Chains A and B, each alone.
Chain A
């Protein structure tokens, strides 16, 4: 059971906008920034969003992040087939002596 809660799956058609939620608590999302990682099949995770809503260089602006209270969201607009991947949220957790916690992951299917 993951500390951060994500829906196990999400789907959309090309061009659509999809959102993935990540729910935590006051000790993790409520007091720390949230990062999102994209994992394409058979590859290592890749940083997609850091500090709640910042994109590393090279990440398309179709990807956006937000945070409110103890929840965060990843939005993907103009969905493309290559966006089909697993998405994970992550944050530090102050109640666990400075440990990192991940969400269980959301498998995004592009129909």
Chain B
């Protein structure tokens, strides 16, 4: 069965960077784009971008360009999202989500990783 298992919660100081991992299992990792979506406390979902695990190609939301880097390690079927120059408003739960191209939808989600940036 498809599973996306993310790394544990992080607390970071303002200005620091955080790198969240998302380990995929139950399917061929390189066959599906991986997207990242975040959710600030009590707020809605915010799309951050995607990575093509096959080619390494990426596409980031304008809001995060210059601060976000999405990478992958195909040998361990893991995608990464690194966000730099953290601010207090980056405090959120970060989810990875598999994109099923045939449905043009996110069919599986990671459990989420809470990143806290104290003000």
Contact = CB atoms under 8 A, between A and B. Distances in A.
A pairs with B = yes
B119 to A, nearest CB: 23
B59 A44 contact: no
A63 interface: no
Interface stretch (A9-17, A18-26, A92-100): A92-100
A33 to B, nearest CB: 6
B44 A103 contact: yes
A60 to B, nearest CB: 17
B104 A51 contact: yes
Contacts of B109: 44-46
B111 interface: yes
B4 to A, nearest CB: 9
A47 B59 contact: no
B62 A96 contact: yes
A88 B111 CA distance: 17
Interface residues of B, number: 20
B52 to A, nearest CB: 12
A54 interface: yes
Given A44-B95, A44-B112, A45-B95, A99 B106 contact: no
Contact of B61 (A45, A56, A88, A99): A99
Interface in B15-30: none
Contacts of A92: 104
10 contacts: A33-B104, A35-B104, A45-B37, A45-B97, A46-B109, A54-B103, A56-B107, A90-B45, A97-B59, A99-B59
Q: Which 5 A-B residue pairs are closest in the complex by CB-CB distance?
A: A50-B105, A44-B109, A105-B44, A100-B47, A50-B103
